Amino acid sequence: MWVAEWNEIVFTDESCICLQHHDVRFRVWRHRGERILNSCVMHHPTGSAPGIMVWSGIRYHSHTPLVCITGTLNSQNYISEVLEPVALPFLQGLVTEIFQQDNA
């Protein structure tokens, strides 16, 4: 019974892919007296971590194009970079689909 309903749902989600360690912390085990040795110190950039945000949607037999989002995803960017150019044209080609957005 659910097969017909699952075929009609379009699931969407966005994800941020970070190019550094996720919390910029490195954990090390040091012996007593090694705390200030230069060989035990690891330097790393303290600025924001480089990354990219992407969005896409999937349904039973197809998917939307992958959208690379520039900057921060806010409501204006979501409308102008995702909904209007990608999601709405994709949904208009479908007859009875349900758009399932995660409301993040």
Q: Per-residue confidence of the chain (104 residues) as pLDDT tens digits?
A: 666 678 888 899 988 887 765 555 566 677 777 766 777 666 666 666 677 889 999 988 889 999 998 777 888 888 999 999 999 999 888 888 888 877 75
Range 67-76 contact pairs with CB under 8 angstroms and sequence separation of 24 or more: 69/14, 73/14
Q: Per the confidence metrics, is the pTM higher than 0.75? A: no
Angle (CA) 69 72 75, round 5°: 90
Determine the residue type at 41: V
CA 100-101-104 angle, to 5 degrees, is: 155
Beta carbons within 10 angstroms of residue 70's beta carbon: 9
Please list, residue by residue across 32-49, b when 16 or more beta carbons sit within 10 angstroms of its beta carbon and e when fewer do.
eeeeeeeeeeeeeeeeee
Supply the pLDDT for residue 46.
63
